[in-house]
Amino acid sequence: MNPAAGEDCTTEALKLSVGVLKTKFEDTGEIAYLDLAITTMAKAADSKLNNTSDISITLLWELGSAFIDRIPRREDTKDIDLALECHARIISAQPDTPASILIPVGLALVGSGFMDRSLSNENPLHMDLAIECFSGSLLAIQEGDPNVPILLHNLSFICMRQFQLLGLQKDVDMAIHCIDRLISDYSETDEKLSVRLNDLATGYSGRYERFGREEDMKKAIDYRSRAVEISPENSRYLPQYLSNLGFSYGELFQRHGRVADIDKAIEYRSRSALISHNNNPDRPDILGNLGISYSLRFQHLGQKSDIDDSIKYLTQAVTQTHTRHQHLPTWLNGLGSSYMLRFERFGQVTDIDKAVENHVQAVELTPAGHPSLPSRCGNLGISHRMRFELVGQLADLEKSIECQERALLLMPQTHRDFPSQLSSLGGSYMRLFEHSNRVADIEKSIELQARAVSMTPNNHPQLAFWLNNLALSQHARYKIQGDPDSFLASLQYNRQCAQCTTGHTPTRFRAALHWAKLSSFLKLPEALQGYQTAFGLIPQLVWLGTALSRRYEDVQEVGSMAVEAAAAAISAGEHEMALEWLEQGRSVVWTQTLQLRTPLDTLCVAHPVLGHELQQAAKDLHGITSDISPIKTTSAHDAGISMEEVTQKTHKLAERYQELVQDARQLPGFEDFFSPKRISQLIPAARDGPIVVINLHSSRCDALALVPGLHNILHVPLPTLSVERADKAYKQMNLELQLLGIRNRGEHRRPVQSRQDDDNNDNAFTLLLGELWADVAQPVLRELGLLQPPTTNELPHVTWCTTGVMSFLPLHAAGLYERPLSKVSDFVVSSYTPTLGALLSKEVQQQTAHSRILLAGQEATPGLSYLPGTKQELDLVTGQVQNVFACTRIEGEHATTEAVLEAMAQNDWMHMACHAHQCVQDPSQSGFFLQNGTLTLADITQRAFTNKGLAFLSACQTATGDPSIPEESVHLASGLLTAGYSSIIATMWSVNDSDAPLVADKVYQDLLKDGTPDHLAAARALHLAVARLRASIGYKNFGRWVPFIHIGS
C-alpha cells in the first residue's frame, strides 16, 4: 500500500491526512506512514515559510514532534537537527526574538519533547537525548535568563528518572547539582522552596539507596525536615513530604537498627496517611510506604500487630493503584515480603502462598532493565524457598534458585544489596544440598556466602546474617564429610557473628550459643566466653520497650540457654559462674519488673537529679509496659493511632531508661549499677536457711546450694537424676491428676473410681515422690547435714529454686512414705523461689497491730462452678484475724476486678478464695475469676505495691506455671511476689473445696498464735497445716495435700 496526499491540501485536509498517517503508524508500527506524514508536513511548512499564523506555528510544532518520534526507529541524528530547525523557525516567527536565544530555546523545546515521551515509554534513548538537549541549552543560554530555572528543573527531573531506571551515579549527581543551583534562587518565604527541598532530598536519598553513603541520607533527612517545617498544614504537598521523611528515617533504621528511627518513620507516615484525602493521587504510595515501615519494625521487634498493619496498608496500596501504574510492582513486592515474614514467624500456610503470588505479579509487571527487578526476583526466590521448606516440593526450590540466580545476573556488583543476594542464593543451595546430598551444592553455598561476607564492611548491620548463614553451611558440610576444617570454620563464623556490635539480636544470640556448643564439643575454654556473650545480649533480646506478652515470647530461648550454660560452667568447676548465670538467665521478665520497682535511695542521695529522673522513668516504664489492654477509642482508626502512640511512647521510655542507667554506671561507685548480680551479692539471700538451686540439663544434673555462714557454694552432683527421668515423672504426674479429675477448685471434681483405681493412683504418686527423694532431696539434704532427726520443734528451713521440668514437680513432698524419717517434711520446712533476687528484694519487716488484710471470695462466679467452701473459708479466716487485723472483706457481686485491685493497694495482706486459671497462650493474662471478669497477672504487676506481707491464694493453678517457658515461673504466685508481696501460699494444681478452709484456718491460727502477725513464718505455718490435713485424710491422698506450697520469704 502506498498512501498519497495531494500537495496542495487545505488546512483541514492536511490535518486529516497527517492524523490518519500518524494513527496508522501508531497502530502498525510501519515507519513508512510516519515518513509520509513528515514529508507531507514538511512540504506544507515550506509553502508557508513566511507565514507567522498560529496554523503555521502549530504545523512546525507537529513536524518537530514527528522528527522526535522517528529518532528511535531510524537512529539518525539528522532528525535531531531537523527537530531543532523546526523549533528554531517557531521562535524566529515570533517578533522581537533575539538571535542569541534561538539555539538554547530550540534545544529546550526538543528536550521537552523527548522528556514527554520518556515519561510514557521509559525509553533510555529518549532520556539521554532529553538530557543532552537540556544540558546544551543551559550551556548556550545567557546567565540570568528567566528560562534557566525551568531548564534546571527539567534537567534534574529527567536525570533522576534515568537514575531510577539505570542506577548510574552521573545522573543522580547531575540531578543534585541542578537542584542545588535552583534552591539558591529561592527565598525562605517562597512557596516553591519546599518543592525544591523535597526534590533535593530525593536526589540524596536515591544516591544513598544505590551506593550506601550515610552522609547522603543525613542530608536527605535535613532537607525533608525543612520541607515539612516550612509547609503549611493545608499544603497539598505536605502528605508526600511527610511520607518521604518517614522513608528516610526507615533507611536510617536499616543502617543502625535504632528503634527511635523506625518509630519516627511510622510517626511521619501515619501522619501523612491521616491528612491525605482519598482522592489524593499519592495516597496509594503513602499507604504502601506506611506498610513498608511497619514491616521493618516487625522484623526488629516481632510485634504481630506490626506485620498485620503492614499487610493491611500494603493491601490498600495495591487495590488503590491503577493496574498500569509504575508503582504497582513496588507495593506487590512489599506485600509479598510482608506475607513471607508473617509466615516465617507464625507459620500460617496461606501466607506463603500469598507471598509467592504477590512476588510473581511484582516481577511480571517490572520492565526489563528496571533497577528494582533484581531485588524483586530475589524476593520471589526467597518465598519459593520458604514454600519448599513447608511443602517439600522440589519445583519450588528449583524455582527459588532460578529466580535468585537471575537476580544476581541483573544486579550490578556495586549495588548495596548484592551481598544480600549472594547470601540468599547460598541459603537456597544449602537447602538443595540437604535434599540432594550433592557436595557440589554445599560447596556452591559456601562460595556464595563467603563472597557476601567478604563484600560487607565490619560495621554493617547485615553482616551478622551473612556470617550466620556461612556458619550454617560450613556446619552442614562438616556433618556430611566430617571435615574438621569445616567444623572449625563454622565455630569461627559463629564467633564472629556473635561478636558483631550491630545486627539482628536473635541471630547473634543463637550464633553465640552455637559458638559455645561447638567449643564445648572440642572442650575448648572459649565455650564459656560464648555463653557469656549470649548472656550479654539478653537485655536486647528481651527488650523492656516491648509489651509484657511479647517479652514472654522472646524469653523462650533464654531459660534453656541458662541451664545449658550453667551445666558447662559446673563441668569447668566454675560453680559461682554457674549460679550467677542461672540467676541472670531465669525469670528474666520478673527480674526486669523488679528492677523497675527497686528503690534508688543510694543513687538519689549521691546524685539526686539523676536518681529522681531515673526513678520517674522506671515508674513510667513499669506502668506502660505492664498495661497490655487495648485502648478504648471511638473508632477503629482512632484506636490504631492511639496504640501506635502508646507503642512509641514505650520505646522512648525504654531507651531513655537505658540511657539513664548507662549514665549512672559512669559515676564513681556505681560502675555495676543494675548489672547482673555477682555471687557476693547473692549470698545474703540465704539469711533464713539454705537455698538449693537444682540445675537440670541433658549433659548433667546438679544442685548448687547457698548456706548461711558459708561463703563458698556447695556443689552436689545428682548422677541418678536426668532430664528423661524428670520428664517421665512430670508426664506421669499429669496423667494421674487427670485421672483424679483435678482441674479446677470445686466440690465435685473426682470421677467415680474403683478401689483398684485409687490404689493405682496411690502407687503412681508413691513411685514419683520416691524417685524425687532418691534422685534429688536425699543427696542434697545429706550434703547439707540435714538428714538428722530433729532435736527441737523448729525444723530448718530450705528454699528450693528449680529449673526445667523440675519447676513443676513437688520436691517439697519427696519421700518414701512407707518408711519413717524418709521424706523431706521430716527434716525441713520447704519454700520455693523463682530466683535468688526475689528473696533479696524483700525487706524483712514485721507487720504491726495496725496492719490490714483483704479477704476476697467468689462463691458463685458467673459462668463457673459453684464454690460453697469459699464462704466457710472466709468465715474461718475472719474469725482468726479479726482481733489482729483490720479486715476488708469483698464477696459476691462486690468482688469486681477494680474493687479487689484497689483493696490490694490499701491492705497489707490478702487472702483470695475463688476460681483462677493459667493462660498458656499469654501467661500475662492468667488471673483470678471475679464478678465482672478476670483480674489478670498484667493488671496486678502494673501496680507498684510496697512492703506487702502474705498473699494466701486459695484457688486452683496459682503456682502452675507455663511448661513452654519453665524458667520464667509465670504463674500468679510469682506475679504477686513481683508485685510486692513477700510471702505467698499457693497451689500447684486444683484443691478440694473442703480442704481449702481447713488449711487456711490452721495457717492463720498458727501465724497469729502470739497475737502478732509475722508473714515470714508463713512457710512453717503452712508446713503444720498441711501435716494436719495429711493426718486427717491419710497420706495416700496425695492429690489433696501435695499441691499446697509456700513461695518467697
Look at residue 879 and tell me whether its pLDDT is greater than 90. Answer: yes
Full DSSP string of 751-785: PP--HHHHHHHHHHHHHHHHHHIIIIIHHHHHHHT
Cβ atoms of 993 and 1004 within 8 Å: the answer is: no
Phi, psi (degrees; rounded to nearest 5) at 953 = -105, 90
- Provide mean pLDDT across the span 50-73: 67
Domain chopping of the chain, boundaries: 1-97, 104-185, 212-314, 321-416, 422-497, 599-673, 680-838, 848-1048
Strand order in the sheet with 886-891: 714-717, 701-706, 691-696, 797-802, 829-832, 1044-1048, 981-987, 948-954, 909-913, 852-857, 886-891
- How far is residue 694's CA from residue 399's CA, in Å, rounded to a whole number? 51
Range with the largest mean pLDDT of 37-51, 677-691, 970-984: 677-691
Cα 636 to its chain centre, rounded Å, is 23
- Does residue 639 register a pLDDT over 50? no
Mean pLDDT across 219-237: 91
Confidence band for 647, pLDDT divided at 50, 70 and 90: confident
Q: For residue 736, give the nearest of 1038, 1027, 1030 by alpha carbon.
A: 1038
* pLDDT, average across residues 61-86: 71
**Which sign, positive or negative, has the C-alpha torsion 519, 522, 524, 528?**
positive
Q: Which of 849, 862, 892 is nearest to 1010 (CA)?
A: 849
Cell of 775: 534422685
For residues 593 and 600, is the Cβ–Cβ distance under 8 A?
Answer: no
Residue 621's pLDDT is 86
Residue bearing the bigger pLDDT, 134 or 13 = 134
The CATH code for residues 321-416 is 1.25.40
pLDDT for residue 533 is more than 50: yes
Work out the pLDDT band at 630, boundaries 50, 70, 90. Answer: very low
> CA nearest 47: which of 78, 12, 9?
9
Q: In the prediction, which pLDDT does 12 show?
A: 65
Cell of 477: 558440610
Render 1005-1026 in DSSP notation, one character per residue. Answer: HHHTTTSS--GGGHHHHHHHHH
Q: Which has more confidence, 375 or 751? A: 375
Vertex 238: Cα angle to 235 and 242 (nearest 5): 170
Task: Answer yes or no: is pLDDT of 63 > 50.
Answer: yes
Q: What is the DSSP string of 448-496?
A: HHHHHHHTS-TT-TTHHHHHHHHHHHHHHHHHHH--HHHHHHHHHHHHH
In this structure, of 30-34, 144-148, 786-790, 1018-1022, the range with the lowest mean pLDDT score is 144-148
Q: What pLDDT was estimated at residue 134?
A: 77
- Give me the percent of the chain exceeding a pLDDT of 90: 50
Query: What's the distance, CA 611 to chain centroid?
Result: 30
Structural contact between residues 221 and 245, judged by C-beta atoms closer than 8 angstroms: yes
Q: Could you tell me the fold of the domain covering 212-314? A: 1.25.40
Whether the pLDDT of residue 59 is over 90: the answer is: no
Phi, psi of 171 (to 5 degrees): -70, -45
Q: How confident is the model at residue 880 (pLDDT cuts 50, 70, 90)?
A: very high
pLDDT digits (tens, 9 = 90+) for 233-282: 888 889 999 999 999 999 989 888 889 999 999 999 999 999 998 888 88
Q: Give me the count of residues in the chain.
A: 1049
Is pLDDT at 7 greater than 50 in this prediction?
no
In this chain, the answer to whether the domains covering 212-314 and 321-416 adopt an identical fold is yes
Spatial distance between the Cα atoms of 472 and 490, rounded to a whole number of angstroms: 7
Q: What is the pLDDT of residue 645?
A: 84
Q: What fold, for 848-1048?
A: Rossmann fold (3.40.50)
DSSP result, 350-394: HHHHHHHHHHHHHHHHSPTT-TTHHHHHHHHHHHHHHHHHHH--H
Q: pLDDT-derived band of residue 925, with 50, 70 and 90 as boundaries?
A: confident
Of the segments 60-64, 162-166, 734-738, which one has the largest average pLDDT value?
Answer: 734-738
pLDDT, position 847: 47
Per-residue pLDDT, averaged over 81-85, amounts to 72
Q: Residues of the chain with pLDDT > 70: what percent?
A: 86
Q: Which three cell numbers stand for residue 192?
A: 516553591
Return the pLDDT at 98. 47
Which pLDDT tens digit goes with each residue over 746-793?
443 322 333 344 444 567 889 999 999 999 999 999 999 999 877 777
Which segment of 46-50, 672-676, 716-720, 1020-1024 scores lowest on mean pLDDT?
A: 46-50
User: Is the per-residue pLDDT at 23 higher than 80?
Assistant: no
8 A C-beta contact, residue 176 and residue 200: yes
Measured distance CA(67)–CA(42) in Å, rounded:
11
pLDDT for residue 499? 96
Whole-number Å distance between alpha carbons of 914 and 1000: 13
CB-based contact 85:122 (threshold 8 Å): no
Task: For 858, list phi and psi in degrees, rounded to 5.
Answer: -135, 100
**943 pLDDT higher than 90:** no
Q: Are 224 and 245 in contact (CB under 8 A)?
A: yes
> Average per-residue pLDDT in the chain?
85
Q: What are 415-428's pLDDT values in tens digits? A: 889 999 999 999 99
Residue given cell 523461689 in the structure block: 833
Strand partners, 916: 928
Lowest average pLDDT, out of 65-69, 296-300, 525-529, goes to 65-69
Residue 564 has pLDDT above 60, yes or no: yes
